[in-house]
Amino acid sequence: MSDTVFIVLSIFGLIGIGYLAARTRLLSQQTGDALADFVFTIAIPLLLFRTLARADFAGLDPWRLLSAYFAGVVFTWTAGHILIRRLFGRDARSGVVAGVSAGFANTVLIGIPLVRATYGEPGMVAVLLLVSVHLPVMMAASLVLNAWARRRDGLADESVGRVAMARRFLLDLLRHPIIIGILAGGAWHLLSLPIPALAGRLVDSLADVAGPLALFACGTGLARYGIARNIPAAAILAGLKLLFMPAVVLVIAQFAGLSPVAGAAMVLVAACPTGVNAFLIANRFGTGEALASNAILISTAAGVATVSFWLLVVEAVS
């Protein structure tokens, strides 16, 4: 078995096992939710803290890296928004959900384990830079564009004012465990603080299970989303996510002169399926839930083939 096939099957195999465990009720939905809570609140934040605290950023240009990735987000989000509105006649708010579903990669549950398995700590440093700004940027863009879409659709403004909404967003962000892990790791790195031996052993024990458990939790979470309406539209969004976005990131990474590892890491993250945050955003906006959930399921199922393809591509161009 080739290394590429082994990596992809090990990643998506764990997702599949989690999915089957939840669908067959071997594990209850409550158990799956508790596992996901553990991953998001403890394991992944500690993994990010450890990686950032020990990271060597020499030779890595964060502006080029972030520009290459978010250029892919902008092009893909725009394409998803326009296609869903023009081909399917959906309103502006659904267009925003479509853009999120096409451009919001599952960076935490799939991207981190995928890049770590493929490129180890050098790849993780590049992903860490992305993850540190990915969630805030994507959530802020979603909120701003939803406010625009509500006006475009002729809906009344929400009772909560813009200042209050921005304050709530910032407080939620600062309380997010992943952001706390990144900020703590950044402070440790900047101050060049050592991690005590016992604390390091405890952090390592929890951080080392983050990848497998994140993939398993991703599978249990997918089990709650059934294929419902908007299947053709969701399939188009999944195609944009899995094929168009990584292609854009690859081209711009080449022009930007990113290192082979950093460029490959950004392409692989861009090639990840749609993240569950797309559904959470749709649910919060009160529209497009079926569109987002179908995009998540279809892109995750098809990701086995497309991630394998992009692994071969980045190996060929590196």
Q: What pLDDT shows up at residue 226? A: 63
Q: What pLDDT shows up at residue 134? A: 85
DSSP assignment of 181-242 equals: HHHHHHHHHHTTPPPPHHHHHHHHHHHTTHHHHHHHHHHHHHTT----S-HHHHHHHHHIII
Taking 90 as the threshold, does the pLDDT of residue 222 lie above it?
A: no
- Name which residue leads in pLDDT, 74 or 44: 74
Looking at mean pLDDT, say which of 58-67, 95-104, 179-188, 285-294 comes out highest: 95-104
Q: How confident is the model at residue 287 (pLDDT cuts 50, 70, 90)?
A: confident
| Token pair in block for residue 98 | 């479509």
At 274, give phi and psi (nearest 5°). Answer: -60, 135
Q: How confident is the model at residue 110 (pLDDT cuts 50, 70, 90)?
A: confident
DSSP H helix total and E strand total for the chain: 15, 0
Taking 80 as the threshold, does the pLDDT of residue 153 lie above it?
A: no
Query: What value does the mean pLDDT take over residues 55-75?
Result: 87
* DSSP structural state of residue 274: B
Q: What pLDDT shows up at residue 207? A: 87
Distance CA 45, CA 39 (A): 8
Distance CA 271, CA 96 (A): 20
- Name which residue leads in pLDDT, 208 or 266: 266
Taking 60 as the threshold, does the pLDDT of residue 4 lie above it?
A: yes
Q: What pLDDT shows up at residue 72? A: 96
Q: How confident is the model at residue 44 (pLDDT cuts 50, 70, 90)?
A: confident
Distance CA 99, CA 237 (A): 8
Looking at mean pLDDT, say which of 75-84, 129-138, 215-224 comes out highest: 75-84
Query: What value does the mean pLDDT take over residues 291-295?
Result: 86
Q: What pLDDT shows up at residue 161? A: 58
Q: What pLDDT shows up at residue 278? A: 85
- Name which residue leads in pLDDT, 76 or 36: 76
Other Cβ atoms closer than 10 A to 250: 22
Q: What pLDDT shows up at residue 242? A: 97
Taking 50 as the threshold, does the pLDDT of residue 220 lie above it?
A: yes
In this structure, are residues 39 and 214 in contact, taking their beta carbons and an 8 Å threshold? yes
SS3 content of the chain, % helix, strand, coil (to 5): 80, 0, 20
| Token pair in block for residue 49 | 């803290």
- Of 184, 173, 177, 176, the C-alpha closest to 210 is 177
Rounded alpha-carbon distances, angstroms, from residue 206 to 32, 50, 121, 289 = 18, 10, 17, 33
Kindly state the percentage of the chain with pLDDT values over 90.
Answer: 30
- Residue 309 makes CB contacts below 8 A (sequence gap 6+) with none
Distance CA 230, CA 228 (A): 7
Distance CA 78, CA 100 (A): 9
Q: How confident is the model at residue 2 (pLDDT cuts 50, 70, 90)?
A: low
- Of 172, 166, 181, 174, the C-alpha closest to 50 is 181
Q: What is the pTM of this model?
A: 0.81
Taking 60 as the threshold, does the pLDDT of residue 160 lie above it?
A: no
Taking 50 as the threshold, does the pLDDT of residue 1 lie above it?
A: no
Query: What value does the mean pLDDT take over residues 102-130?
Result: 87
Q: How many CA atoms lie within 13 A of 225 on its CB side?
A: 26
The two most distant CA atoms of the chain are separated, in Å, by 59
The domains located in the chain, with CATH, are 3-317 (1.20.1530.20)
- Residue 311 makes CB contacts below 8 A (sequence gap 6+) with 4, 7, 8, 118, 268
